[in-house]
């Protein structure tokens, strides 16, 4: 049995928009008698507009065009939905309201242009939603999935202060960084020159890295400098006399006894290594004599001219520590 489903925006009063869908239940799928699984036609009655009729594909075109357009309007983005060659196209009208264009499937039929105000568009959206959500209409009528709008389309909805916060904050950070950099001290020229010299020495040029062959000169012989000629024999003579004096003192050990303690002497050593004079500096026995067992008696007199003054420290163990005399 043929079924007729009627949809209207309000359940009371006059109806400026009414949608009727006619069809039969799909018995092959087990649908009940009151359901509609096969659409044979539909009609849309508008007050002040011509009646619209069509098949299922035209109803599907209305659903996939008008409902996404209404969602865009609710988001504050008014833009056209549908292309020029589609069966249904709706877009904002420059005079106000909305402009909907319908194309017939019959040949040689011009497109139908309708101008809708906000109330008429709201009535159309209500009846289409009722049709799509009616459980008696048991056939798929897909609608494009709702997707979030890109940020560029929602930018105009943000307050001007929020839109300018990011660029102004970036400019302020750049200005602060530039000001802080200008306050840093500049390197001194001397430090710069020193760093350049250091880098030049660490990275020598290829010409400087090549080994150079020294050119022998007749004047540069193996003759030591005057300072070396003056100091080398003297130091060797001093060491020789100290060695001879050590042997001389080891051959004549001091007398041991209770009075023996740490003593410091000024010794005069001749060229042969013999101790020719000894002057007590520390640790004498109080009578200007010490228990050293030396062959000469220590007297506070100047040694011979060619004698070497030596500091001799006698330890309680009986060993001598000799060093050149430096006035102490």
Q: How would DSSP label each residue in 72-89?
A: HHHTT----BS-TTSSEE
- Reported as a single tens digit per residue, the pLDDT across 14-37 is 567 899 999 999 888 888 888 899
Domain count along the chain: 2
Residue 73 lies inside a defined structural domain of this protein: yes
Q: Is the pLDDT reported for residue 284 higher than 60?
A: no
Q: Does 122 share its domain with 241? A: no
243 and 137, same structural domain?
A: no
Pick from 16-25, 195-204, 290-299 the range whose average pLDDT is largest.
Answer: 16-25
Predicted pLDDT of residue 218: 46
Nearest to 139 by CA among 61, 23, 3, 42: 23
Give yes or no: residues 141 and 240 share one domain.
no
CA–CA gap between residue 50 and residue 115 (Å, rounded): 12
122 and 17 share a domain?
Answer: yes
Task: Check pLDDT > 60 for residue 208.
Answer: no
Q: Which two tokens stand for residue 99?
A: 């402009």
Q: Are residues 137 and 260 in the same domain?
A: no
Do both 10 and 135 map to the same domain?
A: yes
Rounded to the nearest 5 percent, the helix, strand and coil shares of the chain are: 35, 20, 45
- Which band of pLDDT confidence, cut at 50, 70 and 90, is reported for residue 222? very low
187 in any annotated domain: no
Q: Largest Cα–Cα distance of the chain, in whole Å?
A: 158
Domain boundaries, position 245 = 236-324
Distance CA 291, CA 259 (A): 8
Give pLDDT, residue 181. 87
Tell me the pTM: 0.48
Name the domain boundary from 81, 115, 145: 145
């Amino acid at each position: 049995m043929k079924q007729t489903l009627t949809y209207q925006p309000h359940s009371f009063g006059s109806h400026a928009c009414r949608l009727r869908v006619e069809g039969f239940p799909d018995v092959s799928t087990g649908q009940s008698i009151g359901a509609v699984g096969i659409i044979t036609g539909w009609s849309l009655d508008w007050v002040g507009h011509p009646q619209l009729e069509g098949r299922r594909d035209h109803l599907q075109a209305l659903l996939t065009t008008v409902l996404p357009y209404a969602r865009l309007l609710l988001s504050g983005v008014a833009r056209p939905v549908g292309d020029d060659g589609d069966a249904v196209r709706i877009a904002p009208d420059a005079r106000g309201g909305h402009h909907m264009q319908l194309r017939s499937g019959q040949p040689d039929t011009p497109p139908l242009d309708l101008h809708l105000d906000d109330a008429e568009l709201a009535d159309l959206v209500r009846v289409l939603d009722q049709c799509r959500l009616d459980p008696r209409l048991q056939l798929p009528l897909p609608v494009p999935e709702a997707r979030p709008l890109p940020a560029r389309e929602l930018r105009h909805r943000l307050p001007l202060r929020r839109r300018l916060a990011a660029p102004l904050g970036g400019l302020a950070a750049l200005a602060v960084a530039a000001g802080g950099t200008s306050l840093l001290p500049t390197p001194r020229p001397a430090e710069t020159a020193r760093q350049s010299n250091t880098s030049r020495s660490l990275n020598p040029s290829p010409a400087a890295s090549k080994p150079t062959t020294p050119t022998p000169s007749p004047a540069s012989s193996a003759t030591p400098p005057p300072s070396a000629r003056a100091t080398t024999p003297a130091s060797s003579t001093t060491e020789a006399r100290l060695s001879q004096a050590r042997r001389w003192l080891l051959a004549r050990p001091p007398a041991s006894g209770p009075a023996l303690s740490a003593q410091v002497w000024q010794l005069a050593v001749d060229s042969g290594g013999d101790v020719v004079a000894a002057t007590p500096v520390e640790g004498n026995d109080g009578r200007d004599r010490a228990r050293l067992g030396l062959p000469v008696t220590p007297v506070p007199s100047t040694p011979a001219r060619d004698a070497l003054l030596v500091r001799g420290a006698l330890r309680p163990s009986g060993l001598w520590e000799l060093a050149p005399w430096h006035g102490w």
